[in-house]
Amino acid sequence: MIECREIYKNYGAIKVLKGISLTIGKGETFAIIGPNGAGKTTLFKVITGESRANSGSIRLEGEDITNVSASARVTRGFGRTFQVARILAGNTVLENLIIAIEARQRNQGVKPSWWRLGPAPDVVDEARVLARRIAMADKLGLSASFLSHGDRKRLEMGMTLALKPRVLMMDEPTAGMSPSDRHDIVNVIKRLRDEEGLTIMLTEHDMDVVSDLSDRVMVMNYGETVATGSMEEIRANTAVREIYLGEEADHA
């Protein structure tokens, strides 16, 4: 599904990514872990198109998308959530979902009607259904600026799902969440993975979440791949224990 080859990225003199290669299969859930500053977020941004690699190539289902803009990657099936949820704080929850659905329709070439003021009824209906799916049906009219951190993440997830992506890219989906929110979001992700067969790539600090969700894990440090494999293999890897898991691996 996604194939990265020899990605290099520098910020000035600092080498942030030093030749990362990875392959994510269709329907696979792939996690990247590693200490802060290891280059996880940079790798993420290179794959989503927010920043361009200095060299290397990225393919999506065989198509070379290395030089495709972020928005064009979205039209090709990428969906992305952020560590701090990016939502439209000046709009209501319903409007946020409507905007996302309309954006998808536009990407698919659906023309809006010339005479109608406001969103089409089918768009509003779809937004309401979506709101129920993310358990926010009771907050439709609320301005998104009043949402809690957890609700924002949930709404962002809803907006991303509205795009009907094939690949879901999630940067720290559970960061800063309360345990119950964390539990909820993990269940949502699991359902997506199992029911809709989405390919998922995520970075995450919470090892429980990582081992709960991922099929494969990649460990990064100083811009390089330290190890790739299943969670059990990673836990058993001495290099990984040294740089990252440390004590945690002992107590796990």
For other proteins, the closer CB: 45 or 216: 45
Minimum CB separation of residue 6 from other proteins in Å reads 25
Distance CA 72, CA 130 (A): 24
For other proteins, the closer CB: 26 or 86: 86
Residue found by looking up tokens 């000035």 in the block:
12
For other proteins, the closer CB: 103 or 192: 103
Residues 181-200 that bind other proteins (CB under 8 A): none
Identify whether the C-beta of residue 127 lies closer than 8 Å to the C-beta of residue 158.
no
Identify whether the C-beta of residue 52 lies closer than 8 Å to the C-beta of residue 1.
no
Helices 121-133 and 149-162 pack at an angle, to 10 degrees, of 130
Residue found by looking up tokens 């509205």 in the block:
162
67 binds other proteins per the rule CB under 8 A: no
Identify whether the C-beta of residue 152 lies closer than 8 Å to the C-beta of residue 181.
no
For other proteins, the closer CB: 68 or 192: 68
Residues 116-145 that bind other proteins (CB under 8 A): 117-119, 124, 140-145
112 binds other proteins per the rule CB under 8 A: yes
Q: With CB under 8 A as the contact rule, which of the stretches 1-9, 157-165, 194-202, 225-233 interacts with other proteins? A: 157-165
For other proteins, the closer CB: 67 or 71: 71
Distance CA 197, CA 39 (A): 28
For other proteins, the closer CB: 53 or 131: 131
Please, which residues bridge with residue 218 across strands?
A: 32, 228
68 binds other proteins per the rule CB under 8 A: no
206 binds other proteins per the rule CB under 8 A: yes
249 binds other proteins per the rule CB under 8 A: no
Please, which residues bridge with residue 7 across strands?
A: 20
51 binds other proteins per the rule CB under 8 A: no
Question: Cα-flanking dihedrals φ and ψ of residue 170, to 5°?
Answer: -125, 120
71 binds other proteins per the rule CB under 8 A: yes
**Across the chain, how many H-helices and E-strands are there?**
10, 10
239 binds other proteins per the rule CB under 8 A: no
